Chains A and B, each alone.
Chain A
């Protein structure tokens, strides 16, 4: 059921986004918020295993990974995603309810392209981070 993209409008946008978070409430809000402004949320996952499977299946060009995935670590998932899907090398974005400065060290050493606080999660922030080089990968 979670494999299905949430009910948000994909509307012919160039960004295919996978969101990984263990909080369903946030997933719903994030889908609505991002999809509203032309980001195609192709799927959501609540665990690392699910995220890796969907990444292979849905071929997203952007993955948003929550740092605190319950007992799992978003940093670990980021590394594994980038290892397994080299195309995602500059397309994994870390998100968290906590501040960037709390994880500055870990974010810096992670292969993720950047960090967006969840409270600031919005399509422009995502676009700013992943930039233009993802557009090629999307097509």
Chain B
């Protein structure tokens, strides 16, 4: 648990105060020392002057005594008397000023005793003798004794003063050093305080201001959309928590944004695929798109879609790879061994394989060869049966996220819809084709039956009649005439029947194909028609029939409604499709679906997977363009 910022502030503020207080305390001590030293110095000086006063009193004593001795006049004793009176007080005063210095006190005691002795043992008896008029009082011996005593006292004073002076000097030195110490301490204290304040300021800046600035900068980056912004979580206490919270907030925002973007990507991908499905594009296009989207969204290296075959194999329908090496499309794989396809076929639900190590079978071998570590797959269920599988594979160590199956699952429904739609369409187309073919086939058969049966018999009958006619004896001309008339009528019947047969089905189409049939049609047309067939070759009967009836109907319309002077039919047979165009120079304005007869052709054309387009601007003629695919995509190739 880190200590709180408040505590840190208190502690550092307290530390600052302590340092400053110590500095000031030291200064105060130094100042007190200085004052003491000054006081002592002043005391010593007062001591000196008191000592001087005392010595002066001693001199007054001597001067007074000596003057009295010499003159004998009483007035000369005045200084002696006053000095003797003051001496005790002054000596006491001196002792007090010395205080408790024992050396000085003993020295002063010595002086006082010497003076007392001088007064008591020498001066007072001398004064008495002078009063008495003793002449020996002024003897040399007595004078010499006085002088000797006085010299000793003076010497003692000199020593006392010298010691006092030394003491004063020592104390002055001490005062000066105390003063220097106080100044030094003041400077050091000031410097230390400044330094501490600076340090404290710096600490605050480092601990509070700089992190706050970083937070502000990062908040700015976040606000401007840079959600990757992070800051080092080096701050202390609440600042550290603030940094941590900010980083956590940025992380959370980034995750939310990533989730949102992922969702958006997924929705866009689904929409793209759904659009393809809705547009009824070729299923192979849907398969490729779905496989690519699944691969991209799941973060896989490979994605593939496979269809289950009746023989227990799977066929690759679409593959997507982040890299170059591709798995083959269209190749069949056996479902032996371990594979997503086999597992999905077994379970009918989403599956995942987290390792292909030690797995057997061709698919597992290929997966290992490609370096695939894990795969996840979902079934494509069409009309209740497991139709195919979408699988995503990764080379990375980490398995796919747990929601991968669900995300792939959303696409499988679209694939199932596309497949179901395509199958329905294919079935519808096939059933239309069957109906049209059946109708064509029965017309062809009726025409042929008529030809092989009735027509042949009528023609033979005609030949027989002519033969009979030729055998009639010349004498029966009427009979011959009658027979001839019957034969002629038979020819008319045959001609009528031929016309009917032709309407049922053009024999030339079966016999000679599209080119001859269209040219025959053109010859019979009321409007002159040019026919241009790019490539004369036989085509499948349903295609020839569709093309023939389209041209036939278009030319019939031209003849009936267009008031055209000319028409032109072109058949281009290239790139796997047959392109028919019938154009006329008539009045235009044909509307398909209003009795034009072209509507009926649409079924026939669409049954073959073709397309018909009628363009008939008023006054600019009519163009009918039909494209019929020559190679039908088999339903199996879905």
Q: A33-B463, A36-B467, A36-B470 are in contact. Are A26 and B456 (CB under 8 A)?
A: yes
A107 smallest CB distance to B (angstroms): 10
B248 smallest CB distance to A (angstroms): 87
Which residues of A lie under 8 Å from residue B508 when comparing CB positions?
A: 102-103, 105-106
Q: A29-B464, A33-B466, A97-B494 are in contact. Are A106 and B511 (CB under 8 A)?
A: yes
Contact count band on B: 20 to 34
Indicate if B516 sits at the interface (CB-CB under 8 A).
yes
Stretch of B10-18, B166-174, B274-282, B518-526 that contacts chain A: B518-526
A16 smallest CB distance to B (angstroms): 20
> How many contacts between A and B, using CB within 8 angstroms?
92
Verify A97–B451 contact, CB threshold 8 A: yes
Stretch of B391-399, B498-506, B625-633 that contacts chain A: B498-506
Within the complex, which residue of B448, B452, B459, B519 is in contact with A105, where a contact is CB–CB below 8 Å? B519
- Which of A30, A102, A103, A118 gathers the greatest number of chain B CB atoms within 10 Å? A102
Which residues of A lie under 8 Å from residue B502 when comparing CB positions?
A: 98, 102
Q: What CA separation (Å) do A106 and B456 show in the bound complex? A: 21
Which residues of B lie under 8 Å from residue A2 when comparing CB positions?
A: none
> 1/0 per position for B455-490, CB-CB distance to A under 8 A?
111011111101100110000000000000000001
- Give the total of A residues in contact with B, Cβ under 8 Å: 28
Within the complex, which residue of A98, A104, A119 is in contact with B462, where a contact is CB–CB below 8 Å? A119
A74 smallest CB distance to B (angstroms): 8
Indicate if B507 sits at the interface (CB-CB under 8 A).
yes
Q: A25-B457, A68-B507, A97-B459 are in contact. Are A105 and B467 (CB under 8 A)?
A: no
Q: What CA separation (Å) do A121 and B491 show in the bound complex? A: 12
Q: What CA separation (Å) do A82 and B508 show in the bound complex? A: 22
Which partner residue on chain B sits nearest A22 by CB separation? B452
Verify A103–B464 contact, CB threshold 8 A: no
Q: A23-B456, A104-B523, A106-B511 are in contact. Are A119 and B464 (CB under 8 A)?
A: no
Verify B516–A106 contact, CB threshold 8 A: yes
Verify B507–A98 contact, CB threshold 8 A: yes
Verify B464–A32 contact, CB threshold 8 A: yes
Which residues of A lie under 8 Å from residue B490 when comparing CB positions?
A: 119
Indicate if B379 sits at the interface (CB-CB under 8 A).
no
Verify B498–A105 contact, CB threshold 8 A: no
Which partner residue on chain A sits nearest B524 by CB separation? A101
Indicate if A67 sits at the interface (CB-CB under 8 A).
yes
Indicate if B4 sits at the interface (CB-CB under 8 A).
no
Indicate if A135 sits at the interface (CB-CB under 8 A).
no
Indicate if A56 sits at the interface (CB-CB under 8 A).
no
> 1/0 per position for A61-99, CB-CB distance to B under 8 A?
000000110000101000000000000000000000111
> 1/0 per position for B378-422, CB-CB distance to A under 8 A?
000000000000000000000000000000000000000000000
Indicate if B512 sits at the interface (CB-CB under 8 A).
yes
A37 smallest CB distance to B (angstroms): 8
Q: A68-B511, A97-B451, A98-B501 are in contact. Are A103 and B463 (CB under 8 A)?
A: no
Indicate if A138 sits at the interface (CB-CB under 8 A).
no
Which partner residue on chain B sits nearest A28 by CB separation? B460
Q: What CA separation (Å) do A30 and B501 show in the bound complex? A: 23
Indicate if B79 sits at the interface (CB-CB under 8 A).
no
Which residues of A lie under 8 Å from residue B455 when comparing CB positions?
A: 97
Which residues of B lie under 8 Å from residue A36 when comparing CB positions?
A: 467, 470-471
Verify A103–B516 contact, CB threshold 8 A: yes
Indicate if B283 sits at the interface (CB-CB under 8 A).
no
Verify B507–A102 contact, CB threshold 8 A: yes
Indicate if B610 sits at the interface (CB-CB under 8 A).
no
Which residues of B lie under 8 Å from residue A22 when comparing CB positions?
A: 452
Which residues of B lie under 8 Å from residue A37 when comparing CB positions?
A: 470
Indicate if A122 sits at the interface (CB-CB under 8 A).
yes
Verify B463–A32 contact, CB threshold 8 A: yes
Q: What CA separation (Å) do A68 and B502 show in the bound complex? A: 14
Which residues of B lie under 8 Å from residue A33 when comparing CB positions?
A: 463-464, 466-467
B326 smallest CB distance to A (angstroms): 49
15 residue pairs of the A-B complex, CB under 8 angstroms, read A26-B463, A29-B463, A29-B467, A36-B471, A37-B470, A97-B455, A101-B524, A102-B507, A103-B512, A105-B512, A105-B516, A106-B508, A106-B511, A118-B463, A119-B463
List the 3 closest A-B pairs by CB distance, nearest first: A29-B460, A105-B516, A29-B463
Apart from the given pairs A68-B451, A98-B451, A105-B515, 20 other A-B contacts in the complex at a CB distance below 8 Å: A23-B460, A25-B456, A26-B456, A29-B463, A32-B463, A32-B467, A36-B467, A36-B471, A68-B452, A68-B507, A68-B511, A98-B498, A99-B498, A101-B523, A103-B512, A103-B516, A105-B508, A105-B519, A106-B511, A119-B459
Residues of A within 8 A of B (CB): 22-23, 25-26, 28-30, 32-33, 36-37, 67-68, 73, 75, 97-99, 101-106, 118-119, 121-122
